[in-house]
Amino acid sequence: MPSLGPSNRSWKRRVAALASIAALALLLGAPSFAQAGPRDRDRDGLSNRYEVGHSKTNPTRRDTDRDHLGDGFEVRRSHTNPLKRDTDADGLTDAYEWRHSKTSPLRTDTDSDGTADGVELMLRQDPLANERGKKKLLPDRISPQTAITAGPSGTVTNRDAGFSFTSSEAGSSFQCKLDAAAWGSCASPRGYSGMADGLHNFSVRATDPAGNVDPTPDTRAWTVAVPPPPVPPVPPVVDTTPPETAITSGPSGTVANGNASFSFSSSEIGSSFQCRLDAAAWSNCSSPLGYSGLAGGTHTFSVRATDVATNTDPSPATASWTVATTAGPTASFSWSPQNPQNPPVQVTFTSTGNCPATPCTYDWRHGPPGDEPIGTGTTASWTFQSTGTKTVVLKVTDSAGRVAEATNNITVGSAPAPKRCANGADDDGDGKVDLADPGCTDAADDDETDVVTPPPPPPPTGGWPNASNTGVPAGTALTPSGGMTINTAGTVIDARDISGPVVVNAPNVTIKRSRIRTSSFQAVASNSFGLVIEDSEIDGQSAVHNAVSSSSFTVRRSNIHHSENGFSVSGNVTVTDSYIHDLTTTGGAHTDGAQFNEGASDVVFRHNTIIPSPGGGGTSCIIMWDEGGAQNTRVWIEDNRLIGTGAAWALYSPRQTASQIYINRNRFMSGVYGVTNGVQVGTTVTEFNGNVYDNTGSPVSPND
């Protein structure tokens, strides 16, 4: 690019300003793309495989070089470099040249007059006219750049503040504002006095002589914290309070060997300890303390602390456990159906071995040659996608850490499978088989499912869920914690402030009265069953893909916000009395309060408030599976407040024939295209009754 001599810095600032204007224009006019499938994770029009193997773009970011042209658009339409914001290095982004200046993003000098396109625009010349020395001057449309050069920041103890600021263009005037006050004319320096304690924000913007206003005012945030007067000294207090002793680790329940190790602590630093086992005398000890060769039977370990003031804990901490010399586990399993046919076919595996030293853990895997996890628990299911011999491995580990394994080969054939009412199996799990099941009419019937009566509506809860009656109860003291992986069944997480993702790999885990803040892909991942989340808040920090995913969980009275989707639903999910709102549309995300996956069943959404994207850019409050394959069934969406304002629809229902879908007594606000995408009662849904508009109370029809 040719040098501009003394004005080179000014040229760079003007080009940067042009790039900012181009980026803002593209952001306001960025096209919306249809929701992508799993092969195009970032919805940019390029498959994940193509991005990794060919274009070298990021398959998780729709616009890798952040030039406001999607990767697919740059590869297939503009033929620009998706890894560079400015392919031809002319000082203008590819997006600005393609959509605004109409210059070539592949040529530094579109009109071949010896001056780069970015320089011509900076000089207010026409970059498309090759008339050397006869360029037409364009009006000045470049906004000035405002910069705060001096002023307070961070936390200060002074209630007065002064700011100095400049503009990138000489002769500019300025407007300033403090906190939420209106803009007003000002000059540098600008001073304030008598500021209250707390966070403050100062903003300033420049207007150049051509009337162009800086669209991105410079801001400065700082906190005023004037310390209170010193507290007079308190006379010393004689310590007469005994310490509290706690056992922090050690055996419990029934164990298979005579060794034991205990760790313990005191509520007061510097304490000493005395321990005893069973009826033995007290003796001095320290943590950790170990025992070996213990006889079979029940044992009790006791420990008490004495603080530096010689106060002894009057209620020692105790732990009891039983030593049992039992046999190790055995591993074996059966499967149903015994002769699976016509993939995709689901096979259920059941452990038939023994576990003398309970509890045992069960790890089911598919392989070798692969090593894919199937599930945990005494039963697990796997859907085989092809015919042939399949290897399934069960690993059983008892409470003493002893392991047993069993391996079986299952042959998946291609013979015609009998109808579900003539296959000798209990397909709907009600304990009745084939024609003995009330869901079967004859041997040709392929649906053994009984007619399901929807569960009754819940009792009133005193108003719609909102920020005041969901989330962490007021007054709850939270303990800071990092992200966590939970592998112990029955774990209860209470009153925690969690910074990071939560991965649940064990059954019957409860998370309550807690706040989870994370920017990971999933905020809470449910990989087992029986997970309960109640009276909690999940903040996706405008980066999380799903707040909770994906099956066998219950959510009650929780406040969920700033994730792309509230829930990813794969089945056995209940969400009640919760507030799902202000979800993120960053990067063109297609936001939904809840996304139902293929084949998801046994799903209840009742008495929730869902407002996914009041500012626009969302898809729906709830989007059900609307493509081919297994459809959603046994679904109740009832007594909710579904506010579609800013989204495409309030409810995105199935487009294929589906059964046992109940949509009743909801209050709707229409999306951009309507309340629903076209409900067909009796075909795509079973019931659509008692639904009304939230603002008028008038009835909502299935096709509104």
What number is the average pLDDT over the span 248-274?
91
Contact present, 561 and 540 (Cβ < 8 Å): yes
Q: Look at residue 311 and tell me whether its pLDDT is greater than 60.
A: yes
The answer, as to whether pTM is greater than 0.85, is: no
Give pLDDT tens digits for 417-468: 577 787 878 776 777 877 787 778 777 777 767 654 444 444 445 589 999 9
Architecture of the structural domain at 245-323: Sandwich (2.60)
Which element (helix H / strand E) includes 19?
helix 8-29
Q: What is the pLDDT of residue 320?
A: 93
User: Greatest CA separation found in the chain?
Assistant: 106
Separation of alpha carbons 561 and 576, rounded Å = 16
Q: Strand (E) positions, 161-296?
A: 161-167, 173-178, 184-186, 190-192, 198-207, 218-224, 245-249, 253-255, 260-266, 272-277, 283-285, 289-291
| Whether the predicted pLDDT of 485 surpasses 90 | yes
What is residue 679's predicted lDDT score, i.e. its pLDDT?
87
Output the pLDDT for position 445: 73
DSSP 568: E
Residues 260-274: what's their mean pLDDT? Answer: 95
Which residues, in sequence order, are CB contacts of 465 under 8 Å at separation 6+? Answer: 557, 577, 578, 579, 607, 608, 609, 641
* 500-512 average pLDDT score: 94
Q: Is the pLDDT of residue 266 over 60?
A: yes
**146-224 has which CATH code?**
2.60.40.10
Gap between the Cα atoms of 630 and 562, Å rounded: 30
- Cβ atoms of 592 and 619 within 8 Å: the answer is yes
List the one residue out of 236, 237, 202 whose CA is nearest residue 220: 202
Cis peptide leading into residue 459 (ω within 30°): no
Q: Which neighbouring-strand residues pair with 348?
A: 336, 381
- Cβ atoms of 314 and 242 within 8 Å: the answer is yes
Beta carbons within 10 angstroms of residue 369's beta carbon: 5
Lowest average pLDDT, out of 64-68, 210-214, 532-536, goes to 64-68
First-residue to last-residue Cα distance in the chain: 58
Give residue 15's pLDDT: 46
Q: Per-domain residue ranges for the chain?
A: 5-122, 146-224, 245-323, 333-417, 479-693
Alpha helices in 355-397 (DSSP H): none
Which range, 3-17, 22-36, 455-469, 474-488, is most confident?
474-488
Q: Is the pLDDT of residue 18 over 80?
A: no
Q: Is the preceding omega at residue 369 within 30 degrees of 0, hence cis?
A: yes
Q: Which tokens in the block code for residue 345?
A: 């076919």
Residue 410 pLDDT more than 60? yes
Q: Which of 135-149, 189-203, 554-568, 598-612 has the lowest mean pLDDT?
A: 135-149
Average pLDDT over every residue of 529-533: 93
Tokens of 662: 């109940």
- State the chain's mean pLDDT as an integer: 86
> Which helix (H) or strand (E) covers residue 497, if one does?
strand 496-504
Mean pLDDT of 107-126: 84
pLDDT digits (tens, 9 = 90+) for 637-680: 999 999 988 888 889 888 889 999 999 999 999 988 888 888 88
- pLDDT surpasses 90 at 248: yes
Between CA 81 and CA 140 the distance in angstroms is 30
* CA proximity to 91, closest of 109, 75, 78: 109
Q: Whole-angstrom Cα distance, residue 673 to residue 704?
A: 9
Structure tokens, 500 = 């990071």
Look at 61-70, 558-567, 583-592, 681-690 and tell me which has the smallest mean pLDDT: 583-592
> What pLDDT, in 10s, does the model give residues 643-655?
988 888 889 888 8
Q: How confident is the model at residue 648, as a pLDDT?
A: 87
H/E stretch holding 534 reads strand 531-534
Is-same-fold flag (146-224; 333-417)?
yes
| Interacting residues of 109 by C-beta distance below 8 A, sequence separation 6+ | 90, 115, 116, 117
Phi, psi of 489 (to 5 degrees): -60, 140
Residue 95: enclosing H or E segment and its boundaries?
helix 94-96
- pLDDT at position 455, please? 47
Looking at residue 451, what is its pLDDT? 54
Of the listed ranges 37-41, 135-139, 214-218, the one predicted with least confidence: 135-139
Provide the pairing of β-strand 609-611 with 641-643. Answer: parallel
Most confident of 64-78, 346-360, 371-385, 507-521: 507-521
Contacts made by residues 523-527, CB under 8 angstroms, sequence distance 24+: 523/547, 523/548, 523/563, 524/548, 524/549, 525/501, 525/549, 525/550, 526/550, 526/551, 526/552, 526/553, 527/503
Pure H helices in 610-698? none
- The per-residue pLDDT for 28 is 37
92-101, 387-396, 413-422: which has the minimum mean pLDDT?
Answer: 413-422
Has residue 130 got a pLDDT over 50? yes
Pick the CATH number of 333-417 from 2.40.160.20, 2.60.40.10, 3.40.1030.10, 3.30.365.10: 2.60.40.10
Average pLDDT over residues 342-364: 88
- With a CB cutoff of 8 Å and minimum separation 6, the contacts of 190 are 162, 163, 165, 176, 204
What would be the CATH architecture of the domain defined by 479-693? 3 Solenoid (2.160)
